[in-house]
Amino acid sequence: MTIIFNNTVNLMQLLLHQPAPNHPKMQGKCKHVYTITCKESGRIYVSQSANPQKRFKHHALKPPKKMFIDVNNYKPFVDCFELNVVFSSYRKYLCDRKKRRLISDLKTTQISCGYNILKGHSTSDSQY
């Protein structure tokens, strides 16, 4: 079997079964799985968004329920919490799967480890 690559498709996209980012239907649809880690307590929040930096700023103003106390105790938010994008994909189901796996592996639903309430449901489910 011979595979010919052109400038719109690369090997990684083929392996992940992702369309090329310049495909008209894919513009602006990339999702990112991210973590927010409290540098003081080590607790982690896992979520996903099309714009993680914007969500990070939003969490500083309106944090998830389990993160609320730490956000008020450790200020300023941008100095005490760290954003890390761990996975990106144009396929929502891959992001959902990665998010569930991270929540499970990092045990972020346990109060001592993290801030997640749900075990990685769809982004349409409320985490607050």
DSSP secondary structure string for all residues of 77-111: HHHHEEEEEEEEES-HHHHHHHHHHHHHHHTTTST
Candidate from 9-18, 22-31, 81-90, 116-125 with smallest mean pLDDT = 9-18
The residue-averaged pLDDT of 16-32 equals 62
Q: Of 14-23, 61-70, 89-98, where does mean pLDDT reach its minimum?
A: 14-23
Report in angstroms the alpha-carbon separations of 11 from 2, 29, 110, 128.
Answer: 13, 20, 38, 38
- The superfamily (CATH) of domain 29-106 is GIY-YIG endonuclease (3.40.1440.10)
- Say if residue 127's pLDDT is above 60: no
Q: 35-50 burial, b for 16+ CB within 10 Å, e for fewer?
A: bbbbeebebbbbbbbe
Portion of the chain with pLDDT greater than 90, in percent: 64
Q: pTM for the full model?
A: 0.72
pLDDT of 101-112, one tens digit each? 999 999 999 999
Nearest Cα residue to 18 out of 92, 85, 74: 92
Residue 71 in this model has a pLDDT that exceeds 80: yes
pLDDT higher than 60, residue 45: yes
The amino acid at 30 = C
**Cα separation of 61 and 1, whole Å?**
54
Where are the domains positioned within the chain? 29-106
pLDDT (tens digit, 9 = 90+) per residue, 50-64?
Answer: 999 999 999 999 998
Whether 66 and 111 have beta carbons less than 8 Å apart is answered as yes
- Residue-level pLDDT at 58: 95
Please list, in sequence order, all residues whose beta carbon lies within 8 angstroms of the beta carbon of residue 97, skipping any fewer than 6 positions away.
none
pLDDT at residue number 89:
95
